[in-house]
Amino acid sequence: MDLRIQRVVALIEEKPGHDLSLADMAQVAGLSPSRLRHKFKLEVGVTPTVYLQKLRLERARQLLIRHELTVKEVKAAVGISSDSYFTHQFKRAFGVPPSRSRIY
């Protein structure tokens, strides 16, 4: 994998809860936003923003399963500000709303 793409992947994985724009990620890679988007998709299979979203949702799922955090706390921990967006995306990704994803 291209070193520039590796740096962006590392940034996303280190800071999934931070507000990372495509421009921020492109700056880390030393590429224009459109060039980063194109190269990232070729090498990783999805765009950087989709990769970030999937990582956030997976981390949210893990937090809900393994910790006694509220849905709002988990949502904030992964960097998603909208309640409805988080619930919609979570249900879309995992088939259940976040409030019903805990293992008891």
For domain 3-51, give the CATH number. Answer: 1.10.10.60
Q: What is the mean pLDDT of each run of 10 residues along the chain (104 residues)?
A: 94 88 94 97 96 94 88 91 91 90 63
pLDDT of residue 104: 47
pLDDT of residue 60: 93
Please tell me the pTM assigned to this model: 0.85
Closest-CA residue to 75 (of 94, 99, 102, 95)? 99
Specify whether the CB–CB gap between 8 and 71 falls below 8 A: no
Intervals of CATH 1.10.10.60 along the chain: 3-51, 57-100
pLDDT of residue 54: 93
Specify whether the CB–CB gap between 54 and 16 falls below 8 A: no
Beta strands in 3-103 (DSSP E): none
Q: Which CATH architecture group holds 57-100? A: Orthogonal Bundle (1.10)
Specify whether the CB–CB gap between 25 and 12 falls below 8 A: yes
